[in-house]
Amino acid sequence: GDSVTQMEGPVTLSEEAFLTINCTYTATGYPSLFWYVQYPGEGLQLLLKATKADDKGSNKGFEATYRKETTSFHLEKGSVQVSDSAVYFCALKGGSQGNLIFGKGTKLSVKP
C-alpha cells in the first residue's frame, strides 16, 4: 500500500542553519504531497503542499519540490529560527486511498 518514509529525528540545529528533512513516498497513481507542522502543544497545521510532479510548495521560508523520478518531497529552509522548533510530518493523499498517509514525523529543535 501507499507509504511515506521520513528521516529519523530528532534534528538539532543552530539558529540560521540550513535545514533539510528528507521524505520519500511509495504510491500508486499520482498522489498529492504535503508537509504538516505540529508546534508544541498544538494541532497539525498545513505548512505547504504540491499536487503534481515538479511543483514546488513554499510557505514561511520553507520549500519542497515534488520529484516523481526520485519519489521524494524533501523539506528545506535556508535559515531556521528558534520558532521553527516543532515536529514536521510528510504526508501523501490520493494514490490508492482518499485519506492522508503520514510519515512518522521529524522533531526539529533550533537552538539560539
Q: Which residues bind other proteins (CB under 8 A)?
A: 29-32, 34, 36, 42-46, 49, 51-52, 89, 91, 93-105
Query: Before 10, cis peptide (omega within 30)?
Result: yes
Nearer Cβ to other proteins (67/93): 93
Nearer Cβ to other proteins (86/103): 103
C-beta atoms surrounding 66 within 10 Å? 21
Q: Does residue 87 contact residue 47 with C-beta atoms inside 8 Å? A: no
The residues pairing with 97 across neighbouring beta strands, listed in sequence order, are 94
Taking the complex as a whole, the smallest distance from the CB of residue 48 to other proteins amounts, in Å, to: 10
Query: How far, in Å, CA of 24 to CA of 17, rounded?
Result: 23
Taking the complex as a whole, the smallest distance from the CB of residue 73 to other proteins amounts, in Å, to: 13
Query: How far, in Å, CA of 30 to CA of 77, rounded?
Result: 26
Nearer Cβ to other proteins (17/87): 87
Taking the complex as a whole, the smallest distance from the CB of residue 112 to other proteins amounts, in Å, to: 26
